[in-house]
Every structure is written in C-alpha cells, then in structure tokens.
C-alpha cells in the first residue's frame, strides 16, 4: 500500500514519515502545546512518556523543526 510522506527541500523524508521517527506528529504537537500552556519539560515528559531531553530538543527547535517542502509516495 502506498502512502504520502512529507519531504524537505532536498527530498529527504521528515516527521513521522522518516524511517527512524519514534514519535508521531501528533505527539510532537502535543509537546509544543503543553509547553505553550506553561508546563515544564519534566512535566511534559511524564505526561507524554518521553525523555525530558527529547522534550527540550523539540521545544528548542533542535529536533523535528523542519516544515514540509512537498510530499511523495512511498
């Protein structure tokens, strides 16, 4: 079955469509929403069952920070 995945400007898969992705786009969005609501990295990590360092990396834009430039079928 073929599905659409997001790609960046050089054609590499990003987000939950990347083969090594551990977290869904929904989980990443939840982390960012909880941070906007004022929760700490530790509180968010416990709530979504994710390491505090991963939560911090997502919130600081070091991880999962690319926007799709297009889509392709895989």
Number of independent structural domains in the chain: 1
Count of all residues that appear for the chain in the document? 74
Look at phi and psi of residue 57 and say left if phi exceeds 0, alpha if psi is from -120 to 50, else beta.
alpha
Per-residue pLDDT at 46 exceeds 90:
yes
Average pLDDT of the chain, as a whole number:
95
**According to the model, what pLDDT value does residue 7 have?**
95
User: In this structure, what CATH number is given to the domain that contains residue 45?
Assistant: 1.10.10
How many angstroms from the chain centroid is the CA of residue 51? 14
pTM: 0.86
**According to the model, what pLDDT value does residue 71 have?**
95
Q: What is the pLDDT of residues 12-36, one digit of tens each?
A: 999 999 999 999 999 999 999 999 9
Q: Which domain holds residue 46?
A: 4-73
CA distance 22 to 37: 24
Per-residue pLDDT at 1 exceeds 90:
no
């Amino acid at each position: 079955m073929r599905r659409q995945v997001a790609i960046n400007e050089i054609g590499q898969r990003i987000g939950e469509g990347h083969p090594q992705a551990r977290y869904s786009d929904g989980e990443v969005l939840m982390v960012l929403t909880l941070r906007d609501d004022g929760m700490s990295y530790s509180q968010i990590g416990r709530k979504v069952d994710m390491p505090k360092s991963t939560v911090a990396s997502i919130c600081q834009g070091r991880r999962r920070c690319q926007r799709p430039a297009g889509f392709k079928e895989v």
